[in-house]
Amino acid sequence: MAIIDVTDEPIMAGQTYEDFCRDNHAAGGISMFVGRVRGGATDILELEHYPGMTEKALKEISERATKRFQLIDIVIRHRIGAMKSGEDIVLVLAAAPHRHDAIHAVDYVMDFLKTAAPFWKRLTINGVSSWVDARESDQQAAERWG
């Protein structure tokens, strides 16, 4: 049962992984990606999103990944609000009969999450805030999937 979650609470990657493994005990391969806040101990990252559209976009990405890689199950959990260095921003879990599909599915989801899901990052370093610019390399990564 796919889980799409946008939350202002900690992602709890370990617990989610344990639950996912229990729910998909027959899967031959489970792949996991956790995106985390980089930077120094005093830096703050804020995630803004478009309520409603975000959930729809993530659901669409998960459905495309499930179909393309014949997934058994998938989780996409994305944090919003303010967080500090070392905290988890995003978690993707994919379960498939074989490893390549699980691994590629997580890569696919992250590429489209970065280019199609309506989130915006704002970074504060030493008290100075600025919006994070989109990267051309992320767009190129998504385009390689055709």
Interface with another protein (CB under 8 A): 35, 47-50, 52-53, 56-57, 78, 89-90, 110, 113-122, 131-134, 138
Angle at 91 between CA 101 and CA 41, to 5 degrees: 140
Nearer to another protein, 73 or 114 (CB): 114
Cβ distance to another protein smaller for residue 53 or 82: 53
Residue number, 96 or 113, with CB nearest to another protein = 113
Report in angstroms how near the CB of residue 138 gets to another protein at its nearest.
8
In the complex, the smallest distance separating the C-beta of residue 68 from another protein, rounded to whole angstroms, is 19
Where do we find the tokens 């879990």?
93
Backbone angles phi, psi at 110, to 5 degrees: -65, -40
Exposure on the CB side of residue 17, measured as CA atoms within 13 A: 12
Measured at the CA of 111, the angle between CA 122 and CA 19, to 5 degrees, comes to 90
Least separation in angstroms between CB 12 and another protein: 18
Q: Which is nearer to another protein, 72 or 112 (CB)?
A: 112
Are 32 and 110 within 8 A, CB to CB?
no
Q: Would you say 49 or 72 has its CB closer to another protein?
A: 49
Smallest distance, another protein to C-beta of residue 123, A = 10
Distance CA 100, CA 69 (A): 9
Minimum CB separation from another protein for residue 144, in Å?
16
Given a contact cutoff of 8 angstroms between Cβ atoms, the answer to whether 106 and 114 are in contact is no
